[in-house]
Every structure is written in C-alpha cells, then in structure tokens.
Amino acid sequence: MATYDISVAHLYGDLMNTYGDYGNIIALKYYATKIGVTMNYHLVSLGDRFDSSAFDFVLFGGGQDYEETIVAEDLKQKATDLKQYIENDGPLLAVCGGFQLLGHYMVMADGKKVDGIGVMDHFTTNMYDKSLTVLSGKRLTGNIVIKNNDNGEEYHGFENHQGRTFLGQGERALGTVISGNGNNGMDHSEGVIYKNVYGSYFHGPIFTRNGNLAKRVLATTLQRKYPDIDWQSKLNTVPTESF
Ligand code: GLN
C-alpha cells in the first residue's frame, strides 16, 4: 500500500513561537493523520541551511521585537532558498513577526528599522508613524474576525502587534476585517496571500481555530507533492474542528 508523508520545516521554532504558533503544526498533523498521511518535523533555526527542495510545508511563527532582530540577521543567509521555495509554489504560513520579516522591512516600537528579506513585497512601519492618522500610538490587540474574499469563509483569531503592515505588488489580503484591526488598522486588510504563502497576525494559533483553513492549506501541500490524488475530497470527509 502506498504511504504518504509531508516534511515540515519550523523556521526558528525555538525563537519565534508567540502564543504557541507551533499549534499550527499540531493542527496540520491532526488532519494529516486522519487521512493516513504522516508528518516529519524539522526545526530550522540559527545557522541551519534552509534547503528549498527538502520541505513540503513551512511555518514561520511570530516573535517580539528582540527575537525578530536576531532572526532578521540569520534570515539573510536563507533568503535565496526561501525565495526559491516560495516562487516554486511552496506552501508556507507566516504569523506576525514571521510575516513581517518576509517583507522589505519592519520598524520596531523603538523606531529602529530592521531589514526583512524582501521575498514578498509588503513592509511594516511602527505605531508612532506620524503619517498614520488612525489608531497611531496603540498596539493593535484583541479578538479579530475576517472574511476571506475568495471563498467567503470567516476566520476568527486574536491579534497583538504594534507593527503596521501594508501589502505590495501581487499580494492580496487573507481576509477583510469584519471586527478588529488587521494589518494596519486602516485599510481593513488582514494577512496576506501570495502564491501558496499565507501570512497573518492571528496568534493562538490560526489553524486550530480555523480548521477549514488548515484543511485547505494541507490539501494544497499534498496536491503539490502527490498530484494524482484528490486530497481536498479526502479532507472533506474529515469533520472540521475548532479547538
Ligand atoms: N514585534 C512585532 C510587533 O509587535 C511582532 C509581534 C508578534 O509577533 N506578536 O509588531
């Protein structure tokens, strides 16, 4: 009997795991197990090479400003491989700080500008940016509900960030804000979709509360690796959980 497996890279899982972002991997594993797929977990952290051909799914979680500065330095040597992975339609979930660092730059609460790797076109400014007239000077914290514009699904979560992210070329929002703040508290966008990359400010983690999104991303991951099987149909037979 054929066996199916996926290899998951947890980027800086030892440094970037705010509010248990690792739970996203547990949620994926839950649904994978239900359809007989095994998961291999790999922590890819400081000094490790990110091999773009070795992984089927990548999680890049959130972290606070201090951890982000450490990670930003190391990330430079992974930028080319990560770009290749993303452009090659590799599925990736980036949460909060991880989402920020895939863009051009982020400005921390103290005003220091940290370079991202610019493999995606967004940028993040800070809460004291004088050009921002809405909600400046406050962290964007609390429960949030968004609606995905492609399929009408609602996603529920919790956000806690000072950075204000603005999307760029080729990027669209993961959803439109129904309640809460989203990427910047101004344009009603939350998160990002670019190719098979999903970014979000949702902590807590997004896949456990939004099993339909977890199943969709898992289906994409499996379809890319094993194109001859209808993975979405298989996953549709598994009840969607909200943990
Ligand atoms: N340091 C970033 C900010 O506050 C990210 C925070 C986080 O990952 N929760 O904008």
Q: Please name the residues in contact with 118: beta carbons below 8 A apart, sequence gap of 6 or more.
A: 79, 103, 104
In a domain, 243, yes or no: no
Range of the domain at 167: 4-236
In a domain, 241, yes or no: no
Average pLDDT of the residues of the chain: 95
40-83 pLDDT tens trace: 999 999 999 999 999 999 999 999 899 999 999 999 999 999 99
Q: Which atom number of ligand 1 is nearest to the Cα of residue 64?
A: 1
Angle separating helix axes 23-34 and 211-225, nearest 10 degrees: 70
Could you tell me the distance, in angstroms and rounded to a whole number, from the CA of residue 50 to the centre of ligand 1? Answer: 23
For residue 1, pLDDT beyond 70: no
Could you tell me the distance, in angstroms and rounded to a whole number, from the CA of residue 175 to the centre of ligand 1? Answer: 19
Q: Which atom number of ligand 1 is nearest to the Cα of residue 163?
A: 10
CATH of the domain at 30: 3.40.50.880
Quick check: CB of 63 below 6 Å from ligand 1? yes
Is the CB of residue 120 less than 8 Å from the CB of residue 90?
no
In a domain, 89, yes or no: yes
In a domain, 18, yes or no: yes
Domain count for the chain: 1
In a domain, 209, yes or no: yes
Average the pLDDT over 183-192 and give the result.
97
Quick check: CB of 72 below 6 Å from ligand 1? no
Short-list 19, 17, 73, CA closest to 43 = 17
In a domain, 211, yes or no: yes
**ipTM of the complex, rounded to two decimals:** 0.93
In a domain, 10, yes or no: yes
- C-alpha–C-alpha distance, residues 126 and 133, integer Å: 12
- pLDDT of amino acid 132: 86
Q: Which of 10, 122, 161, 203 is catalytic?
A: 203
The model carries a pTM of 0.96
Quick check: CB of 97 below 6 Å from ligand 1? yes
In a domain, 69, yes or no: yes
Cβ neighbour number for residue 213 with a 10 Å cutoff: 24
- C-alpha–C-alpha distance, residues 146 and 174, integer Å: 8
Q: Which range, of 62-66, 91-95, 172-176, 219-223, averages the lowest pLDDT?
A: 62-66
